[in-house]
Amino acid sequence: MTEELEKIQIELAASLTKNNRKKFRKLFLSLHGYEQSQLFENFSLAQRKIIYSYLTPEELANVFDDTEEDPVEAGKYLDEMPPAYVARLLREMYMDNVVDILADMRPLKRRKYLNLMQTGEAAQVRNLIHYEDESAGSLMTTEFIAVKEDLSVGSAMHQVKREAQEAELITYIYVIDEAGVLVGVLSVRDLITHPDDEAIKDIMITRVLAVDVNEDQEAIAEQVRDYNFVAIPVVDEAEKIVGIITVDDIIDVIDEESAEDYSHLAGVDTQTISHNPFQTAFKRLPWLITLLFLGMLTATLINHFDTLLSQMSVLAVFISLITGTAGNAGTQSLAVAVRRLAMNSHLKITRLLLNEVATGIIIGVVTGVCVWLMVGFWKQDLVLGGIVGAAMASAIFVANLAGSIIPIGMEKLGVDPAVASGPFISTLSDLTSVLIYFNIAQYFLQMYGH
Amino acid sequence: MTEELEKIQIELAASLTKNNRKKFRKLFLSLHGYEQSQLFENFSLAQRKIIYSYLTPEELANVFDDTEEDPVEAGKYLDEMPPAYVARLLREMYMDNVVDILADMRPLKRRKYLNLMQTGEAAQVRNLIHYEDESAGSLMTTEFIAVKEDLSVGSAMHQVKREAQEAELITYIYVIDEAGVLVGVLSVRDLITHPDDEAIKDIMITRVLAVDVNEDQEAIAEQVRDYNFVAIPVVDEAEKIVGIITVDDIIDVIDEESAEDYSHLAGVDTQTISHNPFQTAFKRLPWLITLLFLGMLTATLINHFDTLLSQMSVLAVFISLITGTAGNAGTQSLAVAVRRLAMNSHLKITRLLLNEVATGIIIGVVTGVCVWLMVGFWKQDLVLGGIVGAAMASAIFVANLAGSIIPIGMEKLGVDPAVASGPFISTLSDLTSVLIYFNIAQYFLQMYGH
């Protein structure tokens, strides 16, 4: 909360204590819904109960529509309100937000609230709740404006005026035929600027981009972003318009998806915030312990080479240098591959792989030569430098390739490639790097009998 | 490009070859601007020259306004067109897009195009070009609708009708006083639903959220997202409205910023795509080589303990296990800290740190005990297991703490904490982990005289 809002919070709390309904309303209603929701969350139960008597359900609906709070939390507030108040609140809120809140409730409680709603609306909510999470159906709202194709601009304008207050967004007016099939779209701008007697049919755009009700949110977000839409219509299998997805929900999707990718790359959920260190720890431990087993494999591999190590204990000095650098290169190539797969569905896989092979060779050779010289001069032993350099070059090459092949393979298997994490790639590359390093060392030792 | 578009491309190319202007226009103009721009980019120079004669500058402006292409590329097309055509094209395009293209040109060329424009518009472009990259000024467009506060709804509607075609977005109508100071806002919905004789002053919202022309794009994106705006007004130091930023540009900012964070975490630029492996390699090498030096430090540290290692070569077996796991824990805590710093500017730092300390202890102890038992049983040596387990626990604790302290410190120093990368944290933690491991081993050895 900004400082300004904190001050307002204090003023509002004071007017609640003094039972100053008028002052509270004046100040509170001057704010934007998002600000109101921030303030609302900070009031105590006793304060909220007063607020329910100060604000109409219509006014509170505005607060709930603009909240960023978890639907579960928002649902808890409903229990505090008188049933008749809740009924009106749910009617005033946008359908997509009502669904979000009710979807997260236990069935028994949900039924209670559905019973409070009007039959038609309750049926809509029941319908919407059944759409799969992250599908168009779960994102859409049913408050849109659709006009019949045989209307004139004037009569369409009349309908828009009538329905404008209910609709979530009136930038686009959708045009439907007798059966409700989406046949065109026009913008409110077109309605305003065309003469009243023109036919909607003549000014509408007939090439309407719509998404299927079961389409995945990530693909929808991409379309809205590319086409610069403010909303996109949702149609069922019969091409009938059933809802619209507005750009504010698309922004949330984009945020959510990018936070997911970020979390995957780090191998930890960065979205759910907990202030309980036990919860935090047990969220991170599964990955760490899984990778620990992979790490133990690497340890047994090094153990396998114990004779070599006792013959030439200097080899131990460079283990972490090689595994670390290869892991870094692997993480880089993983991130590039994941992003490119995400951004371009028509990507030529072979081209990506060939590019990575070539890149891996270049990076490996450059780094390998650097290491060869550094170790060679430091230890005054160009053979040892050669072992470390050659191992480094090969380990980087392999890690780099693994960093692209693994996400590509996952994509081919239908798994989201973003799930492959940096920690996984670097732990895996520890294993391959050690294998390469000791084999090269053994080979050199036999060749040069160090 | 989708398959459908690929087919259309072939059809369009055919109509260009056959000089079938009518067919080309009908098909091309039935598409959305974004689709048109995808097709346009795929035509050859010869084909584009025909297109310039087929399409009016107004029609082509639509293509350029919706392109996702690099402004540099878009700028190159201008050189192919007749000067009079360019002049009209630039006049028809939205100001923010014109600025993007001209800003990336060499000064001489830019002056040539500015001279083609009308004096007033050229002055506006010159003004806008000077705003800093990533500031509100560089994102905004000057095509918005502002009405005087003393108008009636009816006369405001008249003005909107007149200016609607020029404006980039008419969802919000801004209200200004005599001096041009932003005093209110209303939605086109309000205009439509209120009677003509009502005063704008009475129906406008006076609490308008606006951003300063120099404000950073990341903060603006946050506001638009939180408040669910479709556009946000931009004001100068005198509170005069100078432009608006539309939500489509905000989505691009969000995408850009999240891609940046992702890139930073992986220690590689994942945005610029190059098909030249040399370019790709030289983009990744700087970080790798920098971290290589840090890795060399770790190597010299291990080297420092060579007597210990030759006494007890089994220690080498667990180096990569400890450094790897600590690195993974550090990457996790880094990602969590970076995200939390980015999402919440009023975050209590002490609380975040204390939480991480506690989390680090829990993760360290759990992992340490696992490793103690695993190594103890495997090697039938609980003292060795104890060394590895204790080292693991401490190394994880330190890496975990470093993962939060480093981004917090960077934030305090005014550096974007997202710059701290996973590879950096894991390479740094290699160093601390090795230091901890060998010191603990040495201590145990002295105690128990292994």
Contacts of B367 in chain A (CB under 8 A): 285, 288-289, 292
pLDDT of A345 reads 59
Let me know if residue A74 belongs to a domain.
yes
Å between B83 CA and nearest CA of chain A: 29
pLDDT of B411 reads 83
- What gap in Å lies between CA B352 and CA B343, rounded to an integer? 13
* pLDDT of A343 strictly over 90: no
Q: Are B314 and A328 inside 8 Å of each other by CB?
A: no
Q: Predicted confidence band at A43 (pLDDT cuts at 50, 70, 90)? A: very high
* CB neighbours of residue B179 within 10 Å: 9
Structure tokens at B35: 């689709």
User: Which residue pairs from A97-100 have beta carbons closer than 8 angstroms and sit at least 24 positions apart in sequence?
Assistant: A97/A64, A97/A65, A97/A141, A98/A125, A99/A125, A99/A128, A99/A129, A99/A138, A100/A71
Looking at A146-160, A296-310, A370-384, B335-349, which range is the least confident one?
A: B335-349
How many angstroms from the chain centroid is the CA of residue B111? 30
- Identify the CATH number of the domain in which residue A10 sits: 1.25.60.10
Please give the C-alpha separations between residue A315 and each of A365, A442, B387, B397, B436, in angstroms, as whole numbers. Answer: 20, 11, 21, 28, 20
**Average of per-residue pLDDT across B235-242:** 94
Q: Predicted confidence band at A298 (pLDDT cuts at 50, 70, 90)? A: very high
User: Which residue pairs from B75-78 have beta carbons closer than 8 angstroms and sit at least 24 positions apart in sequence?
Assistant: B75/B101, B75/B102, B75/B104, B75/B105, B75/B109, B77/B48, B78/B113
Q: How many domains does chain B have?
A: 3
Please give the C-alpha separations between residue A24 and each of A8, A48, A59, A78, A333, in angstroms, as whole numbers. Answer: 10, 12, 13, 21, 57
Pairing state between β B241-246 and B231-235? antiparallel
Residue type, B195: P
Residue of B33, B45, B43 lying closest to B11 (CA atoms):
B43
Q: Predicted confidence band at B449 (pLDDT cuts at 50, 70, 90)? A: low
Q: Are B434 and A303 inside 8 Å of each other by CB?
A: no
**Average of per-residue pLDDT across A112-130:** 88
Residue whose structure tokens are 């590509």: A408
Per DSSP, the three-state class of A209 is coil
- What gap in Å lies between CA B266 and CA B260, rounded to an integer? 10
What are the pLDDT digits (tens) for A389-410?
999 999 999 999 999 999 988 8
Contacts of A298 in chain B (CB under 8 A): 320-321, 324
Let me know if residue A293 belongs to a domain.
yes
Looking at A158-167, A353-362, B142-151, which range is the least confident one?
A: A158-167
Per DSSP, the three-state class of A169 is coil
Å between A317 CA and nearest CA of chain B: 5
Based on the domain organization, do A344 and A440 belong to the same domain? yes
CB distance B334 to B420 below 8 Å: yes
Residue whose structure tokens are 């004789």: B197
- What gap in Å lies between CA B111 and CA B125, rounded to an integer? 11
What are the pLDDT digits (tens) for B200-220?
999 999 989 999 999 999 899
Residue whose structure tokens are 């830019």: B110
Let me know if residue B269 belongs to a domain.
no
Let me know if residue A268 belongs to a domain.
no
Residue B231's H or E segment, with its range, is strand B231-235
Please give the C-alpha separations between residue A97 and each of A152, A163, B435, in angstroms, as whole numbers. Answer: 33, 19, 54
- What gap in Å lies between CA A265 and CA A419, rounded to an integer? 7
- Identify the CATH number of the domain in which residue A252 sits: 3.10.580.10
pLDDT of A147 reads 96
Let me know if residue A245 belongs to a domain.
yes
* pLDDT of A433 strictly over 90: yes
**Average of per-residue pLDDT across A256-279:** 86
- Most A CBs within 10 Å, among B186, B206, B228, to test the A interface: B228
Based on the domain organization, do B239 and B294 belong to the same domain? no
Based on the domain organization, do A292 and A435 belong to the same domain? yes
Structure tokens at B176: 């200004």
Q: Mean pLDDT, chain A, as a whole number? A: 90
Per DSSP, the three-state class of A211 is strand
Based on the domain organization, do A293 and A421 belong to the same domain? yes
**Average of per-residue pLDDT across B399-415:** 89
CB distance A69 to A39 below 8 Å: no
Based on the domain organization, do B8 and B104 belong to the same domain? yes
Residue B187's H or E segment, with its range, is strand B182-187
Based on the domain organization, do B40 and B113 belong to the same domain? yes
Please give the C-alpha separations between residue B46 and each of A336, B13, B22, B52, B92, in angstroms, as whole numbers. Answer: 35, 11, 18, 10, 24
Contacts of B233 in chain A (CB under 8 A): none
pLDDT of B196 reads 92
pLDDT of A302 reads 93
Based on the domain organization, do B115 and B226 belong to the same domain? no
* pLDDT of A190 strictly over 70: yes
**Average of per-residue pLDDT across B307-329:** 91
Based on the domain organization, do A33 and A121 belong to the same domain? yes
- What gap in Å lies between CA A134 and CA A210, rounded to an integer? 17
Let me know if residue B265 belongs to a domain.
no
* pLDDT of B336 strictly over 60: yes
- Look at A271 and A48; give whichever has higher pLDDT: A48
Å between A408 CA and nearest CA of chain B: 16
What are the pLDDT digits (tens) for B412-433?
888 777 767 888 999 999 999 9
pLDDT of B1 reads 75
A266-298: b or e for each residue (b if 16 or more CB lie within 10 Å)? bbbbbeebeeebeebbebbbebbeebbebbbeb
What are the pLDDT digits (tens) for B59-108?
999 899 888 877 778 888 999 999 899 999 998 998 888 998 998 888 88
What are the pLDDT digits (tens) for B351-368?
888 989 999 999 999 999
With 0-12 / 13-18 / 19 or more C-beta atoms within 10 angstroms meaning exposed / middle / buried, residue A449 is exposed
Structure tokens at A164: 């404008």
Å between B153 CA and nearest CA of chain A: 14
pLDDT of B415 reads 79
- Residue A203 CB contacts under 8 Å (≥ 6 apart), including other chains: A153, A186, A190, A194
Residue B170's closest chain A neighbor by CA?
A189
Residue A267's H or E segment, with its range, is none
Based on the domain organization, do A319 and A192 belong to the same domain? no
Residue B362's closest chain A neighbor by CA?
A281
- Identify the CATH number of the domain in which residue A338 sits: 1.10.357.20
* pLDDT of B394 strictly over 70: yes
* pLDDT of B296 strictly over 70: yes
On the CB side of B427, CA atoms within 13 Å amount to: 28
Percent share of chain B, pLDDT over 70: 98
**Average of per-residue pLDDT across A53-80:** 88
Q: Which of B132, B166, B186 is the last residue of a domain?
A: B132
Residue A331's closest chain B neighbor by CA?
B266
Å between B108 CA and nearest CA of chain A: 32
Q: Mean pLDDT, chain B, as a whole number? A: 90
CB distance B283 to B268 below 8 Å: yes
**Average of per-residue pLDDT across B406-416:** 85
Contacts of B139 in chain A (CB under 8 A): none
**Looking at the partner chain, which of A251, A334, A378 has a beta carbon nearest the beta carbon of B254?**
A251
Contacts of B310 in chain A (CB under 8 A): 310, 313
Q: Predicted confidence band at B345 (pLDDT cuts at 50, 70, 90)? A: low
- Most B CBs within 10 Å, among A270, A303, A347, to test the B interface: A270
**Average of per-residue pLDDT across A279-291:** 89
- What gap in Å lies between CA A386 and CA A280, rounded to an integer? 44
Backbone angles phi, psi at A112, to 5 degrees: -55, -45
Based on the domain organization, do B108 and B79 belong to the same domain? yes
What is the extent of the structural domain holding A430? 277-448
* pLDDT of B123 strictly over 80: yes
Based on the domain organization, do B182 and B230 belong to the same domain? yes
Contacts of B366 in chain A (CB under 8 A): 281, 285, 289
Q: Predicted confidence band at B53 (pLDDT cuts at 50, 70, 90)? A: very high
pLDDT of A449 reads 62
Based on the domain organization, do B121 and B162 belong to the same domain? no
Residue B226's closest chain A neighbor by CA?
A34
Per DSSP, the three-state class of B406 is helix
Residue B297's closest chain A neighbor by CA?
A321
Residue whose structure tokens are 């049913």: A142
Residue whose structure tokens are 């260190």: A277
In degrees to the nearest 10, what's the CA dihedral of A347, A351, A353, A354? Answer: -170
**Looking at the partner chain, which of B188, B250, B268 has a beta carbon nearest the beta carbon of A332?**
B268
Residue of B132, B179, B168, B176 lying closest to B150 (CA atoms):
B176
CB distance A313 to B306 below 8 Å: yes
Å between B313 CA and nearest CA of chain A: 6
Q: Are A332 and B287 inside 8 Å of each other by CB?
A: yes
* pLDDT of B172 strictly over 60: yes
Any bridge partners for residue A205, and if so which?
A185
Contacts of B441 in chain A (CB under 8 A): none
Let me know if residue B271 belongs to a domain.
no
**Average of per-residue pLDDT across A319-344:** 90
Percent share of chain A, pLDDT over 70: 98
- What gap in Å lies between CA B36 and CA B34, rounded to an integer? 5
Dihedral sign computed on CA atoms, order A50, A56, A57, A63: negative
Backbone angles phi, psi at A240, to 5 degrees: -80, 140
Contacts of B193 in chain A (CB under 8 A): 161, 164-165
In degrees to the nearest 10, what's the CA dihedral of B375, B378, B379, B383? Answer: 40
CB distance B428 to B414 below 8 Å: no
Q: Predicted confidence band at A450 (pLDDT cuts at 50, 70, 90)? A: low
Let me know if residue A263 belongs to a domain.
no
Per DSSP, the three-state class of B185 is strand
Q: Are B335 and A262 inside 8 Å of each other by CB?
A: yes
pLDDT of B347 reads 66
- Look at A207 and A434; give whichever has higher pLDDT: A434
Structure tokens at A300: 């047994």
Contacts of A263 in chain B (CB under 8 A): 335
Q: Predicted confidence band at A164 (pLDDT cuts at 50, 70, 90)? A: confident
Dihedral sign computed on CA atoms, order B236, B239, B241, B244: positive
pLDDT of B346 reads 62
